[in-house]
Amino acid sequence: MSKATTNVDFRKVDVDQYEEEKYEDDAVVDDGVTGPNDAEVQALIAKGRLADALQTVLSTPPIASKNPAVKDKAAQVVMKVLTAFKAADIDGAIKNLDQNKLDVLMKYIYRGFEMSSEGNGAQLLVWHDKVFAVTGLGSIVRVLTDRRRV
């Protein structure tokens, strides 16, 4: 009798997948956006055109992609751009971003917090502070509620 009860595999079953009325997000068409072109962005950073690099990475976020590797790679590229900035230049770069790009930027800043590599923390906090000054609490609420994750 005791042998039959030691099997606890049933605990690993994901019961939610069998739910008939499970909510499915709208089928977001995978428009093949696979994030920014790494080489192109590296070139921009090397040339010192950081504001342009920022514009580039924020205009092609792989939101629709179902492949987590694509999203991770894009996030890494964004981190490279964000850390390449000098604190004094951040304000100027943010001024040129529209509402949508600012929301995407805020999403990446929080993604950066999640990835928590040792060097980035302070720089990310500076970015957070400056973007928050422009967009307010609304963009942070959107990071938390928007289903279209970066």
Partner 1 sequence: MPDNYSFGIEPVSCHAFNKDRTQVALSLNDSEVQIHKFAAGKWALTDTLAEHGQRVTGIDWAPNSNRIVTCGADRNAYVWTKQSDNKWKPTLVVLRINRAATSVRWSPQENKFAVSSGARMIAICYFEQENDWWISKQIKKPIRSTVTCLDWHPNNVLLACGSTDFKARVYSAYIKDVEEKPSATSWGSKMPFGNLMAEFSSGGGWVHSISFSANGERLAWVGHDSSVCVVDAANGQQLTTVKTDVLPFMSITWVTDNSLVAAGFDCCPMLYTYSSGNINFVSKLDDTAKQQVAGKVSAMARFKAMDSRAATDDSANETTLGTVHQNTITQLSIHSGTKSKCTKFATSGVDGQLVVWDVKSLESAFAGLRIA
User: Which residues lie near partner 1 (CB under 8 A)?
Assistant: 21, 23, 26, 99, 103, 135-139, 141-142, 145-148
**Residue 19 DSSP label:** -
| Contacts (Cβ under 8 Å, ≥6 apart) of 111 | 75, 78, 150
Nearest-approach distance from CB 131 to partner 1, in angstroms: 11
CB closer to partner 1 out of 37 and 134 = 134
Nearest-approach distance from CB 136 to partner 1, in angstroms: 3
Nearest-approach distance from CB 147 to partner 1, in angstroms: 6
Q: Burial code of 30-58, b = ≥16 C-beta within 10 A, e = fewer?
A: eeeebbbeeeebeebbeeeebbbbbbbbb
| Contacts (Cβ under 8 Å, ≥6 apart) of 125 | none
CB closer to partner 1 out of 99 and 117 = 99
Residue 121, token pair as written in the block: 């923390």
Nearest-approach distance from CB 150 to partner 1, in angstroms: 12
CB closer to partner 1 out of 70 and 134 = 134
